[in-house]
A and B are shown apart, each in its own frame.
Chain A
Amino acid sequence: MKFGVVISEGPYTHQAADSAFHFVKSAIAKGHEVPRVFFYHDGVNVATRLSVPPQDERNIQENWSALAKEHGVDLVVCIAAAQRRGILDDNEAKRQGKDASNIAEGFRISGLGQLIEMGIQTDRLVTFGD
């Protein structure tokens, strides 16, 4: 089966990004496809490469970046939600006149259309949030 995944809560405050990670990993291990994960609301904060959690804790961003690299999962961060919360790639930083970008490897910033498209193209859409 082809799953689309939405993450709508921020990392560490909420379990959503962890649960989604375990779900995606397990689904792929079982032979399912997860072509895309869409980060919305505070979920976009998963994508910052500047978080530095304590060494004995899981690093949520690194978990996702590794999963994207290993399995080719498309990690899409909503541009409107990202701009509100200060998640920028190089292009956006330049366009908005900001002095730095912070998006982590494996994530890309794009529009809400990617969420709708994922809903159309997958068999099931699973949301992790409140």
Chain B
Amino acid sequence: MSEVKKFLYVNRKAPYGTIYALEALEVVLIGAAFDQDVSLAFLDDGVFQLTKGQNTDGIGVKNFSPTFRALGDYEVTKLFVEQESLDERGLTTDDLQEVTYEDEDDDWAEKPSIRVVSRAEMADIMANQDVVLSF
């Protein structure tokens, strides 16, 4: 399996209320071992997955949001967030947690993994993939 494909994991749903977000992240973590070109997209209610200060004590389910900060260690470094989805929900980038990675091509400089893109740019990103898995 030397072929490298472009994988995009599309996250459209809120982090809690359904299991889609958690099980999507499980696919991303396993998929990271396959050395593919991986990107994540966050749109619609999926943008809530990256909000900071999540606290699930009241609902009795695991808060998995810290896992996003570990993605850099798995060489998953492209997290695209759709601007319009943030706007529609009254969110700004200040509401999102910081996710970074160390760039091995730039003396391991710490760089942000989250990139906010427009809906039109997101469409281009999607069109450029080989495999799109939507959750």
State the majority secondary structure of interface residues on A: helix
A92 to chain B, nearest CB (A): 17
B30 touching A41 by the CB < 8 A rule? no
Complex interface: chain A residues within 8 A of B131 (CB): 119-120, 125
Contact of A113 (CB < 8 Å), options: B30, B130, B135 = B30
A102-121 CB contact bits vs B (8 Å, 1 = yes)? 00000000011101110111
* Complex: chain B residue closest to A118, CB-CB: B131
B23 touching A41 by the CB < 8 A rule? yes
Q: How many angstroms from the CA of A116 to the CA of B36 in the assembled complex?
A: 9
Interface residues on A, range: 10 to 19
* Complex: chain B residue closest to A122, CB-CB: B131
Q: Assess whether B80 is interfacial by the CB under 8 Å rule.
A: no
* Complex: chain B residue closest to A125, CB-CB: B131
B5 touching A115 by the CB < 8 A rule? no
Q: A116-B31, A120-B36 are in contact. Are A127 and B1 (CB under 8 A)?
A: no
Contact of A125 (CB < 8 Å), options: B36, B133, B135 = B133
State the majority secondary structure of interface residues on B: mixed
Interface residues on B, range: 20 to 34
Q: How many angstroms from the CA of A81 to the CA of B134 in the assembled complex?
A: 16
B5 touching A119 by the CB < 8 A rule? yes
A115 touching B36 by the CB < 8 A rule? no
Residues of chain B from 18 to 62 with CB closer than 8 A to chain A in the complex: 19-20, 23, 26-27, 30-31, 33-34, 36
Q: Assess whether A6 is interfacial by the CB under 8 Å rule.
A: yes
Contact of A117 (CB < 8 Å), options: B1, B134, B135 = B1
* Complex: chain B residue closest to A40, CB-CB: B23
A116 touching B34 by the CB < 8 A rule? yes
Q: Which A residues form the contact surface with B (CB < 8 A)?
A: 6, 8, 40-41, 80-81, 84, 111-113, 115-117, 119-121, 125, 127, 129
